[in-house]
Each structure stands twice: as C-alpha cells, then as structure tokens.
A and B are shown apart, each in its own frame.
Chain A
Amino acid sequence: ETGVTQTPRHLVMGMTNKKSLKCEQHLGHNAMYWYKQSAKKPLELMFVYNFKEQTENNSVPSRFSPECPNSSHLFLHLHTLQPEDSALYLCASSQDSGGGSDTQYFGPGTRLTVL
C-alpha cells in the first residue's frame, strides 16, 4: 500500500464510450501525475499537476482530459479512444514537482482495454 489509490483497476471500453479514471492520494503531497505504461516501453508522462495547476502536458491527444479538483484527487476523462490507447495508466504523487530528490509514489494502475 503506497498511499495512492486508483479506480477502477480494470476497464474495458468501446471507442465511442466515455469513461473516467480516478486517483486519490493520502500522503499530503502537492503534485500529481498521470503516466501511460505500455508493454516493454518506458513510462510516458502525460500530465503533471502541482498545487492543482497543470504544469505539464506532454503533447497528449485531446481525447484524454485531466481534471484536478484538489491536491488529493486527480481524474483522467476518456472519450473516443483508439485501440492503441490500451495500456496501464498509472497515477503518482510527490511532495513537489520541482525538487531534485522528489520521490514519486505510484498507485496500482488502471488496466485499460479499448475494443
């Protein structure tokens, strides 16, 4: 248990569906992250929020839409996804996204399958 929870753990959706992934951290951190993890590939950073403000958006397609209502919660809204978006989506949190030794703590991920 890392103090970061994600729901759902598994999600299967069609290309026309709309769904949302939820992340919650209980560590009192100020920064939260969304990553995409595909088999045998490096983790891809998607979005970073620091003190609820989005500070990074690494050229992610608009079919992925993040929302950070407060420092403890992070959502990823999904719509009209493609089969190549199937992957493990990991949420992480850290004390502050601007520090060198700032360790990120990960949730267990949502395994997403797009049909």
Chain B
Amino acid sequence: GQNIDQPTEMTATEGAIVQINCTYQTSGFNGLFWYQQHAGEAPTFLSYNVLDGLEEKGRFSSFLSLSKGYSYLLLKELQMKDSASYLCAVMDSNYQLIWGAGTKLIIKP
C-alpha cells in the first residue's frame, strides 16, 4: 500500500528553527508537496520538490532524498503565525496526490 508518515505534533520556540520530517512509500513518484494549513482555513501551497536536494524560499526550505524516500520542511526564525498544520503529499505514478495526516506545529513564546 501507499503510505506517508509524518509526526503528529511538534512544539518549538519563537525565533528558533524546526525541521518537520516526512517519509513516503508510494507506487511511483512525480514530486513531493508541502502545504500549510491554519486551523479552519484552506491548505496553502509551500513547496514542490522532484529532484534530490534543497529548495529555499525565504524562511522556509524543503529537502528531498529520492533514494531514502524522505523529505523535510525546515522553518527558520519561527514566528507565532507559523503555528499551523503542515501537510506532506506525494504525487504517485497516476498523478494522484497521496497525503500524510499532517504535523501540527505549536510555537511557544
């Protein structure tokens, strides 16, 4: 079967750095997406990785290792507004997104 694993919940301090991991086992691979979802709001697109390596976008970076079936989302200089759920999703060989259950990130002052 297809599976996306990510931690259920993480806590970090304002101003710090946090890394949210995602491992996947899917039938085929056509890219990995990270989304942010604030409570009661729409998931919003953060990043897309299809090749090995690090993609940086301001305070957020996303890393992919194809051989390990592994990705992480790195958030720097954490702000209170970063408190949200972070969803990892992989596009399989049928171009269908397979989703993880999301990681709830709690930022403390």
Which residues of A are at the interface with B, using a C-beta cutoff of 8 A?
2, 4, 40-43, 45, 48, 56, 90, 97-109, 111
Q: A40-B101, A42-B101 are in contact. Are A97 and B42 (CB under 8 A)?
A: no
Majority secondary structure, A binding face: loop
Q: Which chain A residue has the least Cβ–Cβ distance from B88?
A: A42
B26 within 8 Å of A (CB atoms): no
Q: Which of B2-41 contact A (CB under 8 A)?
A: 4, 8, 30-31, 33, 35, 40-41
Task: Specify which chain B residues have a CB less than 8 angstroms from the CB of A43 in the assembled complex.
Answer: 43, 87, 89, 97, 99
User: Bound complex: CA of A103 vs CA of B96, how far in Å?
Assistant: 11
Task: Specify which chain A residues have a CB less than 8 angstroms from the CB of B98 in the assembled complex.
Answer: 42
Task: Specify which chain B residues have a CB less than 8 angstroms from the CB of A107 in the assembled complex.
Answer: 42
Q: Which of B76-109 contact A (CB under 8 A)?
A: 87, 89, 91, 95-102
Which residues of B are at the interface with A, using a C-beta cutoff of 8 A?
4, 8, 30-31, 33, 35, 40-45, 48, 50, 87, 89, 91, 95-102
User: Bound complex: CA of A102 vs CA of B97, how far in Å?
Assistant: 10
Q: A2-B44, A107-B42 are in contact. Are A99 and B95 (CB under 8 A)?
A: yes
User: Bound complex: CA of A35 vs CA of B80, how far in Å?
Assistant: 28
Q: A4-B42, A90-B43, A108-B42 are in contact. Are A101 and B101 (CB under 8 A)?
A: no
| A–B Cβ pairs within 8 angstroms, 27 of them | A2-B42, A4-B42, A41-B101, A42-B4, A42-B98, A42-B100, A42-B102, A43-B43, A43-B87, A43-B97, A45-B97, A48-B96, A90-B42, A98-B95, A100-B31, A100-B50, A101-B31, A101-B48, A101-B50, A102-B91, A102-B95, A103-B33, A103-B45, A104-B97, A106-B42, A107-B42, A108-B40
In angstroms, how far is the closest chain B Cβ from the Cβ of A47?
12
The listed residue (B30, B42, B91, B99) touching A42 by CB distance below 8 A is B99
Contact check, B97 vs A40: say whether CB atoms are below 8 A apart. Answer: no
Task: Specify which chain A residues have a CB less than 8 angstroms from the CB of B48 in the assembled complex.
Answer: 101, 103
User: Bound complex: CA of A111 vs CA of B101, how far in Å?
Assistant: 18
